[in-house]
Structure 1
Amino acid sequence: MARLQILELPEGSGDERPPFILVVDQYVPRRYVQGIGQTAEPVDEFTGIAEQIGARAVLVFEETIDIPANEVTLTDATDGNVVRIRVEPDLTGFHEQVMDAVAKAQADARAAIR
């Protein structure tokens, strides 16, 4: 399953919020069946995503990309040992939760129309 990471960029003087790049790794390209009258041009699933989410860019990789900036380094004050912590979300079951919420919203809309 593809992973999403945020790479924060240095702020400029005119930035309203910190700039960032969305990094998608472990991405598996999909194949699309073209319909009648459609050109055989490849479909880019990430077209326009950067503009929609306010990112400076979207970088997509099939390989695993680790961004060192997403790790937290802690130093123990008592013995000086360094500990690195990396937090990654567990999105297991997220797709099912979203689909359940969509189905409920559709059922509620149908009930409201009746």
Structure 2
Amino acid sequence: MARLQILELPEGVDDNRPPFVLVIDQYTAQRYVLGPDQPEPVDQFEHVAEKIGARAILAFEETIDIPANEITLSDAADGNVVRIRVEPDLEGFTEKVMAEVAKAQVEAIDAVRQARL
């Protein structure tokens, strides 16, 4: 099952909130056929970044670990290092994203049909 991670980016002068990239790993691409005239495969994540406020969405088949999502605690006295991995609880988020993707696909199909008229 695909995993979702957030990669925070450095803030710019005009940023109201910290910018971020949504990183999806362990992702299996799916192909959709809209019709025989379809020139290219449908982008499942088209416009999703805009809707969630991300700068971009990066999807990978492999597992990607973002070091920024780990916190290292160390005690110089004994030399022990503790690493804590921070993972958000995104229960239901995948379903919401996929619903938005399905909605965008329907809108794309409607736009193609309207263009043919």
* TM-score under structure 2 length normalisation: 0.68
User: 2:15 matched to which residue of 1?
Assistant: 15
Q: Distance in 1 between matches of 2:56 and 2:13?
A: 19
The number of equivalent residue pairs is 95
Deviation string for 1:19-38 (max 9, x for gaps)? Answer: 00000111001132444x55
What is the match of residue 42 of structure 2?
43
Per the alignment, residue 102 of structure 1 pairs with none
Report which structure shows greater RCO (CA 8 Å, sep ≥6). 2
Instruction: Return 5+ residue gaps in structure 1 as ranges.
Output: 97-114
Instruction: Determine if the alignment matches structure 1 residue 3 to structure 2 residue 15.
Output: no
Identity %: 74
- Runs of 4+ with >3 A deviation: 87-96
CA distance in structure 2 between the partners assigned to 1:77 and 1:51 by the alignment? 44
Q: 2 CA distance for matches of 1:79 and 1:68? A: 24
Which segments of 5 or more consecutive residues in structure 2 lack a partner in the other structure?
96-117
Which of the two has higher C-alpha Rg? 1
State the alpha-carbon separation in 2 of the partners of residues 49 and 93 from structure 1: 16
